[in-house]
Amino acid sequence: MIPHDQHTIEGTGTRLDRFLLNIYPWLDRATVADLLSSGSILLNGRPAKKGAKLTTGDTLDCRAIPEPVDLRLQPNPSLPLAILFEDATLLALDKPAGQPTHPLRFTETDTLANALIARYPDLAAIGGERLFPALLHRLDTQTSGLVLAAKTSVAYAALRAQFRRFAVAKHYTALVHGRVDKPSRLEAPLTHQTRSPCKMAVVKNLAKVKESHRFDATTAWVPIETGQDTSLIDVTIHTGVTHQIRCHLAAAGHPIVGDTLYGSPSFPSTTNHPLSTNPRHWLHASRILLTHPTTGTPPPLPSPPPPTGL
């Protein structure tokens, strides 16, 4: 930790948060935002704001700045780690609903990544992302199921290449509103909603959304069990856009039960499916089809349903 660091500004117009990222390149945006909100950064003797513009002659007092050693992912041995498959190069983990896949800040310790490096300390050095080591993909916090991790740098590179080529088929089980009695698919780009950056939307007019702000995505599904008000379906994606399945299913008229962000009523009393009484969106990562980096064959990577029956 750097207890106190002072800077005198030369030049005009630079945003304060960008200046801090430049002089402390090991910090990330979330950590800089935390430093600013906590009052650790003083601009001309007063607590600074994120969007402040710097001017020649301004003085910055930076206090309690984390050093690289302070920003390591912290192991949390008290967290359980459910292992579905393991060999010399690959781990398949079963993430419970409600647990984040990885932290957004180094102070967070209750994620799957914290549990992973507590059991496998060497994996903290794999992958190059300090808060996202060894893990090959993410699940939303309330999505349960299968998450993969590489145990070697060579395996990580090979498996990440498969994800980038869209050569990995990810299967999910979802409980959705409405009757789904035949296979279907939706191929539609997604973008971040302007009014809610944490929510995605289907792009309806390509001309109105910059190419860099839209993400191609295809979601396919087949029914497993069709009820009066809800259906249990198997969903397949090869892409991995934020909230892809949740947004696409909602756009198709079948929001996931419990997913109030995308149109599901809160714990609907009208549904008679036993899963609908549980307080989370009902999406479970059930299978992943890929090529093993060593054997060249698909490894067995199913995730059993949670106790509720999903």
- Residue among 198, 193, 240 at smallest CA distance from 219: 240
Known catalytic membership, residue 87:
no
Q: Which of 28, 58, 140, 259 is catalytic?
A: 140
Q: For residues 117 and 114, what is the distance between their CA atoms, to the nearest angstrom?
A: 6
What is the DSSP code string of 44-64? TTEE--TTPBP-TT-EEEEEE
- How many Cβ atoms are within 10 Å of 55's Cβ, its own excluded? 14
Written as six digits, the tokens of 301 are 């990577």
Element (H, E) at 172: strand 169-177
Written as six digits, the tokens of 105 are 């800040």
Q: Which residues pair with 285 in a beta bridge?
A: 145, 172
Query: Measured at the alpha carbon of residue 259, what is the angle toward residues 253 and 261, in degrees to the nearest 5?
Result: 90
DSSP summary character for residue 293 = T
Q: What share of the chain is helix, strand, coil (3-state, %, to 5)?
A: 20, 25, 50
- Positions annotated as catalytic residues are 140
